[in-house]
Amino acid sequence: MLKIFDLRATDDPRDIVHRSVQALVEGKVVALPTETVYGLAANALCESAVDRLCELKGRDENVPLAISVGSREAAGDFFCTLTPLARRLSYRCWPGPLTLVVPCDEPHSALTQVPEGVRERITGEFGCVGFRVVDHRVLAHIHRFLAGPLVLTSANLSGHPAPTTSEPVAEQFSDSIPLLLDDGPTRYGGASTVARVMGNRLEILREGVIERAAMNQFVKPVIVLVCTGNTCRSPMAETLLREQLRRKLGCEDAVRVISAGVAAGVGSGASPQAIEVMGKRDLDLTGHSSRPLDDSVINVADLVLTMTRGHRAAILAAWPDLQDRVHTLRRDGGDISDPVGMPVEVYESCAEQIDTELAAWIESFDDDFFPITASNEDGS
């Protein structure tokens, strides 16, 4: 008999979480909310539970199921390495309403620990597996207590819409599942967006609550230029890099370029000398507004280029996991000297040095750095 637990009726869901985990470990199928729709979940390490889930759904064996993991890091245990494009999406959309479908064929992948029958259910074309990192408190708690991932699918029968409230789930599965966790209407009220990434190509397999326009923004590389106060070197570097990328790619918005300072205030303009030097190149710095380097910038950055070794050291002291993404602008590891307080000729020399180093960086980018525009599976 179905037992319904109302998550809204408690500030402490631990008992509900423990009951759900126990049911999942025992090989039962549980219905629960996500931020998109209500889903049916089964322990991915229990083949009989996954078979039961497919039986309840009447699932076509040729349509792979997605798996839910507790974090971006947990997903990394499965796909092991990601292309720059897939990494961008994982950082910008997780936790959240994205099912990211990526190749999962590394020999040391955690997928090898999943029963063979389950692997066949979740592995699709090109050896790809779909991953969810759901942004919902109850699933986050459940994952903390489970040794493996969940197989997760929408809690609806064929021909019925994916449910965004618990009532349709209770009606359709009242005699076939033991637990339903009710948290009222889901946050987004629609299905997750499903995107497959192969190399630098993105295919929208299903357009869900993350719309195509947003996906096309999420896939853009982000390059951050960093100096001290974000009024001289890094604003010039930002403007020069935009211009070089415009010439190389033929458009102005294929890459997002940001500048910031490790000790910058908010809202200061560029120095008059920097504005003058950029103006001689027909580039406009008059609208620049300084910003400090913070989590909101670092968390979206694909590449951080610093003017000095000291800037790089300061960033890595604050964000030690970014070794592979933070580099000095000078590829030989040297410094771009600060021209602050110096005559305009020094700024011109500084700008020329920055421009030369930026050109070398652009030449070093491989094709995977620049994504192919998102498309439907049929290419439309």
- List, by residue number, the catalytic residues: 227, 233, 338
Contact 328, 305 (CB under 8 A): yes
> What is the rounded end-to-end Cα distance, in angstroms, of the chain?
46
Q: 163-171: which pairs have CB atoms within 8 A and are 24 or more residues apart?
A: 163/37, 163/38, 164/37, 164/38, 164/189, 164/190, 165/38, 166/4, 166/31, 166/33, 166/38, 168/38, 169/31, 169/38, 170/2, 170/4
Question: Half-sphere exposure of residue 1, counting CA atoms within 13 Å on the CB side?
Answer: 1
Among 8, 64, 56, which Cα is nearest to 178's? 56
Q: How far is CA 363 from CA 248, 366, 367, 369, in A?
A: 10, 8, 11, 11
In angstroms, the CA 221 to CA 3 distance is 47
